[in-house]
Amino acid sequence: MEAWAVLNECSTDSSFTTADGVDVWNWSNCADSSEIVFYITKDGGHSWPMGVAPRRRADQPSEVINANELMWDFFNTHPKQ
């Protein structure tokens, strides 16, 4: 994530929050009003958060975040210019 922060000319410091089973890092003050937000859930393994397990033995999806809603909010906040 640090490499993405450098490529996007973000401030070198990231903010970190943790709550309800999810850790969130945020790099802001980036070039062209961009930002980087990185989520790690404590459950869910490699399944899409709030999705459906892709096969019978797959990890159960995390229920602490909804990846579709997070992505939609992010792209609404940062439309392509």
The tens place of each residue's pLDDT in the chain, 81 residues long, gives 889 999 999 987 889 999 989 999 999 889 988 889 999 998 878 889 999 988 889 899 999 999 999 999 988 988 877
Residue ranges of the domains in the chain?
2-77
Contact 45, 32 (CB under 8 A): no
Number of Cβ within a 10 Å radius of residue 35: 15
**Dist CA 58 CA 76 (whole Å):** 31
Look at residue 69 in the predicted model and tell me its pLDDT: 96
Per-residue model confidence (pLDDT) at position 17 = 95
| CA 67, chain centre distance (Å) | 8
pTM above 0.85, yes or no: no
